[in-house]
Amino acid sequence: MTAHPERQGAPLRVAVIGGGPGGLYAAALLKRLDPAREVTVWERNAPSDTFGFGVVLSDETLGGIRDADPAVHEALRRELVRWDDIDVVHRGHRTTSTGHGFAALGRRRLLEILHARCAELGVRLRFRAEAPPAAELAAAHDLVVAADGVHSRTREAHADHFRPTVTTHRCRYIWLAADFPFEAFRFETAETEHGVMQLHAYPFSADSSTVIVEMREEVWRAAGFDELDEAESTARCAKIFAEALGGRELRANNSAWTAFRTVVNEHWSYGNTVLIGDAAHTAHFSIGSGTKLAVEDALALSRHIGEHPTLDEALTAYESERRPVVASTQRAAAASLRWFEELADRVDRPPRRFAFDLLTRSRRVTHANLRLRDPAFTSTVENDFGCPPGTPPMFTPFRLRGLTLRNRIVVSPMDLYVAEDGVPGDFHLVHLGARALGGPGLVMTEMVCVSPEGRITPGCSGLWTDEQAEAWARITAFVHTQAPGTALGVQLGHSGRKGSTRRMWEGIDQPLPDGNWPLVAASSLPYRAGVNQTPRALDRAGLAAVREEFTAAARRAARCDFDLLELHCAHGYLLSGFLSPLTNHRTDAYGGSLEGRLRFPLEVFDAVREVWPEHRPMTVRVSATDWAEGGTDTEDAIAIARAFAAHGADAIDVSTGQVVPEERPEYGRSYQTPYADRIRGAVGVPVIAVGAISSWDDVNSLLLAGRADLCALARPHLYDPHWTLHAAAEQGYEGPAAPWPAPYRAGSRPPPTGRRE
């Protein structure tokens, strides 16, 4: 790095709050960048004090350290313990996966290396010294680096600016150590009389390993850990995992049971004060990223201070670079954390599937990735799943009642808003026909409305007239004739309070400028107060009329020869509005408790099931969370799914949200699939996973892990109507689950993209 001390605003006096790895490394790099700087680190503990034991660093992080400070890298390199295997021990069966590549060292040794480097460079280290308040330091220094951890006093002192959100999670865990090296990264479950407990362990030196024991809060209390001191907890953990430890003891180091806290900040800097590491963000220890993120923060911060003419520009650039990286890591960590929180729902999975599920829990390791790392292990999981040789998981068949789908891909319902008086036209024929020719197992229509008043927009299609049914029959005939083997499903729904609005591209959820029709709903609550009209709460006669509209539409759908019918109970439409406590404020038998809120949707389901052909399957789409306080949560969704399954639903199509406008979804890759996973594990009903699933690799991973039975994709099929066939070609699959239509076979290989000699 090249220093630029002459630049305007270049910090010459630097205060670092916190002597953990992130703070120490930031201090060393800033001093190395400009030896004229006065850099002081305040650390409340003694130099030899540390909490926890081992630290895992990635090759990427080590590469950054090598480039920034070869001396530190060389010192670390001499200390690192490396290994490639992960052992997953479940119900006495050990499954080993290789090719993963880990590097670790003791946290105390890491601190010693950084202490020595700071001293060598001339950084002032003030141990056993509480840092002055951040505001006082900011007034006396050019830069204040707050590396004071998850309980950051700096962050709390300026909470009105940093705007932190701290979420405490549902498991308790304790950091311990074993005086021997595990051969691999080891995950082990213990199914006790009190509930499921888990062990995370890995070596960090030639004679020591980190051991973390974790369990749900209620299990922790039932087991009596809340009444044990450190020594008693340590001995108890050693007894529970005696086989993994070979009967050896565990040791503690100021070890205490704690609940993990996820820290997110809207802003990472305030004036000349900047947050790094756990003060700015945390990521669950199960993906081993805490120290990694802190060190990478230090690398980025020091680099931008060296590259930008002013401190403001440097801090802005630091946050701009690091925020998306951290957000991605936190999403992966959240998925991993949730996996362990919900471990009890997974313990009945066969050992190898359980191991695959664990290895892919964060979605950063996938089926394709594991095939490269450990083809032998991946092949055994594929064999257990039932994949014929050379067949990816997504191209295995799946049976729902009397319907066998040739593969696991579903074209998700997508509203087109181009119908005329509810009649589907040529656009529907081309849209659905093209997707059917593209090779999926099942193509779903948009939400087909059961009445004119049940439309979302004037462009919505319906099944309330025979004319509409004839138009749909034309489409089903085309699919069955020209794309044999592709099933076509119809989704029936009623807009409820979200009706009488403009087409999506004209203003989503905005009322029509004229020609509005009256709305009905569970309760007289507008979707947006002052924007959307207030619906009429359905009375008994209205409920009966709507129920009959659904059954009449189902009869027409059967005559149209649809292969599957889905009842739309999601996204805030009429039946969804009965399910959510945020939209159902009724005081009669159709409101109140979840049992009451389920009553009308189940009545509609039963009425439709009665007229729908016995051999044809019925599915139900639900919103598994409202993404809003006081709304439907995961436990409610499990109960809802269980109720529909008990009434004969063949699968649950698990979506989320769109129930209330004040929702706050946690968007990200495959962000809705954990809800499908949870429902599948808790209820045992087949599930369709949806929500930002975009790659065939993700589909294969979800299926093999047992998180879903079918995967529904919408936008990928808008981008590429032949998504499924192209997925087959990209995986080298040419079997019966993805046949190319005869006129298209010449295009079943990617065309050359450049001249080849």
What are the residue numbers of the active site?
A: 573
Query: Mind spelling out the 3-state secondary structure of 649-675?
Result: CCEEEEECCCCCCCCCCCCCCCCCHHH
- In 3D, which of 438, 445, 495, 434 has the Cα closest to residue 469? 445
Q: Which residues contact 501 (CB under 8 A, 6 or more apart)?
A: 456, 457, 507, 508, 509, 510, 511, 512, 532
Pairing of the two strands 651-655 and 618-623: parallel
User: By the 8 A CB rule, do 47 and 20 touch?
Assistant: no
- Measured CA to CA, the distance from residue 707 to residue 190 in angstroms comes to 22
User: By the 8 A CB rule, do 601 and 619 touch?
Assistant: no
Q: Measuring CA to CA, how many Å separate 3 from each of 6, 29, 32, 125, 746? A: 9, 11, 9, 22, 60
Task: Count the neighbouring beta carbons within 10 Å of the beta carbon of residue 556.
Answer: 24
Number of H helices, E strands in the chain: 26, 29
Q: Which two tokens stand for residue 134?
A: 């951040």
Task: Count the neighbouring beta carbons within 10 Å of the beta carbon of residue 2.
Answer: 7
Residues in a beta bridge with 189:
198
Residues in a beta bridge with 705:
none
* CA angle 292–298–300, rounded 5-degree value: 100
- Mapping DSSP to helix (H, G, I), strand (E, B) and coil, where does residue 271 land? coil
Can you state the angle between helices 673-683 and 634-646, rounded to 10 degrees?
50
Instruction: Please report how many Cα atoms fall inside a 13 Å half-sphere around the Cα of residue 349, on the Cβ side.
Output: 28
- Measured CA to CA, the distance from residue 676 to residue 699 in angstroms comes to 13
